[in-house]
Chains A and B, each alone.
Chain A
Amino acid sequence: MGRFTVPEAVQTLGLPVYDPNDADFPRKTTPDPVQINHPAFRKPTLQDHVLYNEKPSLVLDGTDAEPMSAGLAQAGALLNAVIRKGFPDRLLKAASGVGDLPKHSDRLCDAIMHAERYDPTLEKLPRRHDPVLFWVVHPRMHGTPRIARNNILLDNLFRYSSVALKAQLSNANPQLAQLFEDFRIDRDEPLSSILPNGCSSEQHGVKDLVVRSHPHLTIQSSKVFSPWASSEEVEATAKEIVPDIRPIDPTIDLKSDHIYNREAVLARSWIPLHVHSIMWSREQDQKYPWTKEQLAANAIAHCFGAAVAQATRYGEVVDGRLKRPIVTRAVQLVDGRLDLVAFQLNTVDLNNRNSVKNIAWIEPAQQLYKPGPIWENYEKVVDLNESAFVKFFATLLG
C-alpha cells in the first residue's frame, strides 16, 4: 500500500492539512519561541561594542601580550628607536649615595619581606608544574599571588625612594625634595595610547598603533621633565641605523583588533600633568617563560606607550610632528628582576628611517633579590643586590 498523499484537488483548495503522526498534533508540545525585536533580547555583536572602530588597528596589549620574537631588536625596529644599554653616568653617580645611608639594606630587606612573607592574602595559587616530573599533580597551595607580591614590592620601593630617601638626601640635594613633592600616584589605572598610522607592514599595510597596559603605579607630576638626550644628540640619531630584523616583520607579534580607544586614556586626565613613570609587574608562565630579551623589549614597548599617551594627551603632536621631546620611565618587575627603561620620544613618524630616532635607555634584568618558589614560605632575603636599587633610584631621579 502506497504512502498516503494529499490529493491534488484538496491541495488546490488550500485547506490546512494536519498529520496525525506529527508530534505537534493536535496541539503544540513546545511553545513557539517568543520573537521580541528589542535590543535587550538581541545577542550583542562586535559592532555593538562602545569602542568598536571599523578600521582595525595593531594592538600591543599588556595583559595579553605576545613576547617580541626578536627581542630588543624588534622593539627598536617597531618603535624606530635606538637602544642604549645602560643609563647615563650622571644619573648613576647622582643615585650612588643611597648605599651609604644607615640601615639601607635592612630597609630594603623589610620592603622585600613585606611582599614575600608578611602579606596575609590567601588566594588560590596556580598549580605547580615540574618540567622534569611532568606527571606529578601537585596540590593547590594558597597564598599571595606573584603579581600581588611584586606590586607590594614596587609600592614599597617607590615609597622608600620618595619618602625616606627624599628626607635623607634632600639636605644634600634640595632639588630632589622638590622632585618628589609633586608626584601624583595612581594605582591600577588603565593606560592606552594610539598613534595614527603608527606602523606599516607587508601583511597589514599601514595601520594605527595602539599600546595599552594596566600599570600598577602611574606616577605623574605637574612639572615638565627635561629630556635625557640633548638636541644635538637627537639630531645625531638621524645617522644611526635602526636594527634590521628581516625576515621577521616587526609587527608580527601585534594583534589586529577593532576595539580600541581613539584617544589616550590616562589617570587624572582632567588635570594638566606629565607622566613621570609607570611601574608594573609580570608573572612568568611556568611552562613557557619569557626570556630576558623578551621582557626587556616588553618594558620598552610599554614605556613607549606611556610616552605616546603623554604626547597625544594635550596636543603635543601637530601635523604628525612632535613639538618637543617627551621622556618617560618604566619599571617592570619579574621574578625579583627589575627592567628599568627610559624612553625619549623624539618623533612619532615610526616608518621613516631617515628622520631622527627615538632613544631607549635600558638596564635589563637587574636582579634585586632571588625570590623563592611561590609554594614555599620565604623566610629570608636571598642574594640582595643593592646596586639594582641604586639604578631604580636613578630611574626616578632622571
Chain B
Amino acid sequence: MSLRAVSSVTGCGYALRSRLASALTLSSTEGPLGPLGAKRHLPKRGTKPLPQFLWDKKHLEELTGGEYTHKPLRVNRLGGRDPETGRKVNQHIGGGVKFDYFMIDNCRRGPSNFGAFYEERVLEVRRDPNRGPHIALVAGSKGKRWILATENMSAGQVIKTSQHIPDNPVLAAEGNAYPLGALSPGTVINSIEKYPGKGGEFIIAAGSSAEVVRHQGDYVVIRMPNKHEFALHKECMATVGKLSHGDLKDKIFGSPNMHRRFGYRPSSGLFHKKDGYFGRKIRRLPPVRTLDQPDLPPCDKLALTLTKTDLTGLFGTANVHNLLASGYSGRDYHDE
C-alpha cells in the first residue's frame, strides 16, 4: 500500500479527497479513470446468486437416509443462515409456519433407444408451500415421485421421458422430457439441466420458461426469460412446457401477518439512500455462454498447525529463541 503523489494541480479538492480515500482502501482495480471509475468492467453487484439457505440439507439426509421419498417430511429450516458459520446470508427469511417438505425429483431419466419411453401417470397436482410452481405426484414402474408441474398438467395424464436424440426433432408434448438435442427450435422448455446428468437447475420458478433457439453441433442454444442465451450440451434433459402457477406474481398475501406466516421477515423500514446501483440499465446482451464442464468443487481447506516460532511471525534476525528476551544467552555456559 502506498500513497500516490498528490497532483500539483490542486483545483479539484474533491478529486484529491477521493483519490486519498480510494488509495487508503486496498482496492487493486485501478484504471485510467481511477479506482471508482474502473468498476464498470466488474460484474454487477448481486449478479451471482447467493446460495439459498432455506432447508437444512443435513437434517433432510438424516431423515431420509440419503434416499428419495415421496412422503411429506418435517425438515428443519435455516432462516437464511449458513449452517456452518451460523451467519445470515439471505435477508428477510425466517420464522413462519412449519410446512411439510416434499422432496422434488429433478432428474428425468428414460431409455436412450429409439421409440422407448419411461411412462408415468400423474396422480395429483397440488400446491407446495415451499416453492412457487405446483408439484405433481407421478407414478411409474419405478415408484412414485414429485416433480414440478407444467401449466396444463392434470391428474390422469400420462407423461413420457426419453433420452434418445433422433435425427429429426420430436413433436414435443407438454409435460414430457427430452434431451435438448431432440427438441426443435422454438420449443418452450423448463427444468433444464446445466450439465448432462445433474438434474434440472435452470428455469424452476413459477410460470417461467426458456426457449430453444438453435442447434450448434453438440450444443443447443437456449434463451432464458431475461433474454440471456446459453449453449448447453445436447444430452441435457429438459421438460417441455411452461411451469405452473404463472399467476403467482399477481397474488398478494393480504397482510403483513400473512407474509410472516409464510416465513418472510420484514425489511428494515429505515431510509436507504439509493446509489448508482439502482435504476434500469440498458446494456447489450452478453454473448452466448457455453456451459461445457461444471465448475470444479472448491479445494478442501487445509488445517495447519503452526509451531510456536511460526506463530510469532518473526523472521530473519528477529527470529530468535523466545527465552533470549528473558536474559538467557545464546552462548555456551561454563561451569563456574
Contact = CB atoms under 8 A, between A and B. Distances in A.
Contact of B119 (A203, A247, A253): A247
A1 interface: yes
Nearest to A4: B307
Contacts of A246: 119
A252 B261 contact: no
A246 to B, nearest CB: 7
Interface in A240-273: 246-249, 252-253
B97 A1 contact: no
A3 interface: yes
A246 B160 CA distance: 12
A152 to B, nearest CB: 30
Given A1-B321, A69-B123, A249 B72 contact: no
Nearest to A202: B141
Given A1-B309, A288-B72, A248 B321 contact: no
Interface in B209-245: none
Give the size range of B's interface with the partner. 10 to 19
A247 B261 contact: no
A134 interface: yes
A2 B306 CA distance: 11
B54 interface: no
Given A69-B123, A135-B97, A247 B158 contact: yes
A201 interface: yes
Interface in B261-311: 261, 307, 309
A288 B322 CA distance: 71
B119 A252 contact: no
Given A247-B120, A247-B158, A252 B143 contact: yes
- Count chain A CB atoms within 10 A of each CB in B97, B143, B261, B309 and give the residue with the most: B143
Given A246-B119, A287-B72, A201 B141 contact: yes
Given A69-B123, A247-B119, A203 B309 contact: no
B334 interface: no
A288 B126 CA distance: 12
11 contacts: A3-B309, A69-B139, A70-B139, A135-B97, A201-B141, A202-B141, A248-B141, A249-B140, A249-B141, A252-B142, A252-B144
Sorted nearest first, the 3 A-B pairs with minimum C-beta distance are A247-B119, A249-B141, A135-B261
Interface of A: 1-3, 69-70, 134-135, 201-203, 246-249, 252-253, 287-288
